[in-house]
Structure 1
Amino acid sequence: MRITDEQRRHRLAVQHRVGLPCAGRPRVKDVVESVLVLHATDPATVYLSVLARAPGLTRDDVRTAMYERRDLVRVLAMRRTLFVAGRDDVPVIHAGASLGVARRLRTRLLKELATLPTDPVVPDPPAWLADVEREVDAVLRSAAATGSTLTGAQISAAVPALRTALLPTTDKAWDVRRTVTSQTLALLSAEGRIVRTEPRGSWTSRHHAWAPIESWFPDGIPEVPEAEARTRLARRWLEVFGPATRDDLQWWTGWNKTQTRDALAGLDLLEVTLEAGPGVMLPDTDLSDIVRHAAVTPGAALLPALDPTPMGWKHRDWYLGEHRERLFDRMGNIGPTVWWDGRVVGGWTVRPDGAVVHRLLEDVGDDAARAVSAEAERLQGLLDGTGITPSFPTPLDKELRT
């Protein structure tokens, strides 16, 4: 079966709710699960990714889903990246991706403690880490018993060993004294022992607090065998991002070639021909999305930096066109993008005063330009004067901020 780029864009628009009318007032959980996960490196992305796809929802709806109903969970997973996922998907993501990340983090931390100078000296890194883990668990459980969460600074005040510092060994600007607090807490989160909760400050704050995982999963994250989890995660990804190439899946998950091959071997797949090359999709993929889209007037969408849609594939030309250089930073992180009819046509940003400004990078016609402007005005109203500073500014983002 041959599938064109245009057909893939039509499916993307429907499957990812990009620029199409949204019937009723969907649950935040449903919006998140429709794109599998939301990138959460920039906290604002979580909110903006939902609001772009469900105009009837508000920032309060997103906050309630995350921190009151706890339908969503922050996880350190694919490519050692922070995501927000629906509770139902967490066990598979945890076993299929997070545990592999955790092993690498543990190996790295123990190696650094053993080979780098530290203050104070750590004579037995494994024993030191085991003690720290027990103390962190005890401190967080004690706080949770009173309904409290703790920031990294509060945890390290209660567990002084977390303030152990790795000392520089060169005169390089990046080689500085750094405590192991963040590394250790990231490790424990990847192992599924603790979880990031509501940050201190505003909804755009990166200063998350921490709680025991039992605050979200009373019996801990349900266990799934890792090989089975990778196959199930590959299926979920194909449900959302297929048809696609095997390289796309390997890049998105951060697996190696063997893990990717074995995960796909457990699925019944349909081989397809894409304009980018050989691809795969699930036999039950609903290609009627293409037909439904053809009957709907194209719409505009403003997706935030690191939104899961533009970050869903390794090969992006079929929806990105010629705009890569302006919209990505040098590390491969995409900035805010303007979409029309299932493809990227420009970029946008939020200035410090909360003004949403955009620029079209190609001629999309007067109707599309008006629709983009209307979407920018809607988004600006939802921000209510809040400025957003991206973690990874792109060339176009920098231009629009001046």
Structure 2
Amino acid sequence: MTIFKLALQSLKNRKATALLTVLTVAISVMLLLGVERVRTQAKDSFANTISGTDLIVGARSGQVNLLLYSVFRIGNATNNIDWKSVEDIRANPAVKWSIPISLGDSHRGFRVVGTTGDYFKHYRFGQKQALTFREGKPFEGLFDTVIGAEVAQKLGYSLGDSIVIAHGLADKKFSRHDNLPFTVTGILAPTGTPVDRSVHVSLPAIEAIHIGWESGAQLGAVISAEDIDIETLQSDQITALFVGLKSRIQTFALQRSINEYTKEPLTAIMPGIALHELWSLMSVAEQALLVVSGFVVIAGLMGMLSSLLTSLNERRREMAILRAMGARPSHIFVLLFSEALLLTALGIVLGVVTLYGVLAVASPFVLSHYGLQLSASWLSLHEWMLMGIVLSAGFLVGVFPALRAYKQSLSDGMTIRI
């Protein structure tokens, strides 16, 4: 304990150098834990985007591409699904429920999702959590819309507001369906998923706003809501179909049946397997981030080693005086070793505290701009292991200056060779 107090007092006397060393270690630890937390929570966020859905059906394509455009609203479908195929899939005895999804339009940078009321009944995220309404209710009228929490927040919408959907992803004046505005009847509670960044309308509404747009532009006469016969509105095609089964045992059989469907080329994927493939594609980037942050930690510890070695020559008289007062060479070794260990421990603590401070400040920004939920949860076992590795590395780094001081204290005595 006396040596530990002596090490602490020695660091106080060199507080400027010690503080810089602690800051260097703290920044490297914060970066290491920050990269690890972003990596794990990004994976959890992706995995929690959809749950309880056994199969996702789309036009023939790769399973990662189908997952990205149907669930994450990234990219576009290679083709659409004919409604007759949807009816055939729904007629399968193994199917318990299905949610049709129609994509392709947008509203001020947010994707528009055409669907049915089953979307709000059966769609699940996280640990099979159902969608809930912060305000309002599901769409009932033809030109009702339900918007995600982020859409409402960023665009300042409330119940009863009117919005105009644009044809395609580029929301330009010439592409807007401004003759058929929608009314906000519901605002969903935040989910931390792409649902927050989506505008939901009914499938008949998608058909209604595209009357006269069959060639991709408005060529026919401009129609009004009064001119539309709701009974005649029937979707011919959709983008994707989410399917829930009565028993998961039937998943592989139905998947094979859909993939071998003869009337049109279809692909059925299991979301969990597709997510695993997506993360395996990104594993190289994950490892690269960890390697870079690891080298930053090594650089921080090397900076501490350099600082201790540089100050060692200036402290040889101090070591000699300690020897004259009865300190053994082993005491000198433990003193230098304790200083290195103390600097490392303080750097780790400061790095963790700084990480939580950054998470508290940056989490709302990251969630609103990138849809990634970064929680300030307690350190995981893996993060404790990383800190243990850093502390062990600090232990090893402290051995070199301590061993040198030990050897010098044996030879110097009271006579210091300059």
Would you tell me which structure has more helix in proportion to its own residues?
A: 2
TM-score for the superposition, normalised by structure 2: 0.23
TM-score for the superposition, normalised by structure 1: 0.24
- Higher relative contact order by CA 8 Å / sep ≥ 6: 1 or 2? 2
